[in-house]
Structure 1
Amino acid sequence: MYPVALMCQVLSVSRAGYYRWLSRPASQRDARKSQMESLVKSTFEEFEAAYGAPRITEELNALGYSCSLNYIAKIMQENGMLARNGKAFNYGGHTLAMNNVADNLLWRDFNAEKPNQKWVTDITYIWVEQRWLYLATVMDLYSRRIVGWHLSDDMTVDLITKAMKMALDAREVSPGLIVHSDRGTQYRSNEYVGYLESEGITRSMSRKGNCWDNAAMESFYSRLKVELIYAKNYQSIEAARSGIFAYIEIFYNRKRRHSANDGVCPVEFEEAAALAA
């Protein structure tokens, strides 16, 4: 709102000093706290508010992030995170019925003989600018390529539908394609189920509370957060959106070597397979 020169004069500081402060990197203590806040928030949401400070502390220590119970409890208190078993937690009036649940057709077989045979999809949480963003992605298990994705500040049916629409627009899909997800309410909605059925897609779902049934997608989210989200610690939604685009479309799909593809990136793996066919 005001010129820097005027503000420095009013506050009795030099402009040079202000700019030095502005460009100074965050202290090691502040950087660690910021990283731990992101990890705590991500873990809290991953376990759907079932874990309190003790279990989150155990989870992070098991992942190699050294932390104490008091430190994690303080972060949770500052950010208003209370586990569902907490005394002040307000339970809803009813539990959602498990409608539109599909059988598990994959049974952890994450290999595919050709493109567009088996896809997996999921949603992950990303903490940016004091709010959650939600990223829905669709992966082709043949090459581990992310064929569709959408980022939003609302975790709605529209989020996963737009990610799926992007995938379907980008690929030549035949009836019989299997799309696997967890049992989240968005994936069981009548609107989404009807959309997949209209495209001739066969649904598959993980067993209740079993994240390993969608391990390929979970592995991608783990890499995304370690290699991008935690490292960059985005302070704006625009920066996060741009960074996620670059990570998925430029780095992960076209550069990052994948062990499931004999050490080549997803796009290169698909191109080599097409030439050999």
Structure 2
Amino acid sequence: MEKTLEELLSNMDYTIHPEAILHSDQGMHYTHPVFQNKVKKAGFKQSMSRKGNCWDNAPMESFFGHMKDELEYEDCQTIQELRQRVNEYILEYNTERYQWGLKKMTPDEYRSHLLTA
């Protein structure tokens, strides 16, 4: 896992958004103090599913499954171009994509609905 973390950091030019979250299960490599210190030092907030609860990460797994199926990224030439496409996809997903599980609202509409309730 340390090699994967280092590769991620390298690919991101060691620039991590201050609100970036690294989510995982509670496998021993994610809970090991050496790995946790590297994650913290890199600037990530570490998040883990509850022990024995695979449903904690289900919404993110669903989102990433849709994104991998729908996002056109194969012809990206730079990491900046890929970031732009990912940002555009997320914006469209949150503002234009109606979802049955959110009372047929977009994620942004549903969030506003919850905040005013």
Whole-Å Cα distance in 2 between the matches of residues 256 and 152 of structure 1?
33
Unaligned runs of 5+ in 2: none
Q: Percent identity?
A: 30
Counterpart of 1:274 in 2: which secondary structure?
A: helix
Unaligned runs of 5+ in 1: 1-95, 97-132, 135-150, 165-179
Give the superposition deviation at 1:182: 1.8
Which residue, out of 75, 88, 103, partners 1:234? 75
Whole-Å Cα distance in 2 between the matches of residues 238 and 203 of structure 1?
28
Whose Rg is larger?
1
Counterpart of 2:105 in 1: which secondary structure?
A: coil
TM-score (norm 2): 0.59
Q: 1:238 to 1:259 in 2, by over 3 A?
A: same
Matches for 1:92-103 after TM superposition, within 5 Å:
none
Deviation track 1:52-91 (CA, whole Å, cap 9, x = no partner) reads xxxxxxxxxxxxxxxxxxxxxxxxxxxxxxxxxxxxxxxx
Residue 182 of structure 1 aligns with an amino acid whose one-letter code is D
Pairs aligned (count)? 104
Matches for 1:50-61 after TM superposition, within 5 Å:
none
Residue 190 of structure 1 aligns with an amino acid whose one-letter code is Q
**Contact 2:26–2:48 at 8 Å: present in 1 too?**
no
Instruction: Show the counterpart of 2:85.
Output: 243
Give the superposition deviation at 1:204: 3.5
**Contact 1:181–1:205 at 8 Å: present in 2 too?**
no
Give the superposition deviation at 1:183: 3.5
TM-score (norm 1): 0.29
**Contact 1:258–1:264 at 8 Å: present in 2 too?**
yes
Whole-Å Cα distance in 2 between the matches of residues 261 and 246 of structure 1?
21
Instruction: Show the counterpart of 1:258.
Output: 99
**Contact 1:258–1:265 at 8 Å: present in 2 too?**
yes
Counterpart of 1:253 in 2: which secondary structure?
A: helix
Counterpart of 1:254 in 2: which secondary structure?
A: helix
Matches for 1:62-101 after TM superposition, within 5 Å:
none
Structure with greater helix share of residues: 2
Give the superposition deviation at 1:160: 8.8
Instruction: Show the counterpart of 2:57.
Output: 214
Residue 240 of structure 1 aligns with an amino acid whose one-letter code is L
Whole-Å Cα distance in 2 between the matches of residues 196 and 242 of structure 1?
23
Structure with greater strand share of residues: 1
Q: 1:152 to 1:212 in 2, by over 3 A?
A: farther
Deviation track 1:4-48 (CA, whole Å, cap 9, x = no partner) reads xxxxxxxxxxxxxxxxxxxxxxxxxxxxxxxxxxxxxxxxxxxxx
Q: 1:263 to 1:159 in 2, by over 3 A?
A: same
Give the superposition deviation at 1:215: 2.1
Residue 106 of structure 2 aligns with an amino acid whose one-letter code is C
Give the superposition deviation at 1:233: 1.9
Q: 1:186 to 1:245 in 2, by over 3 A?
A: farther
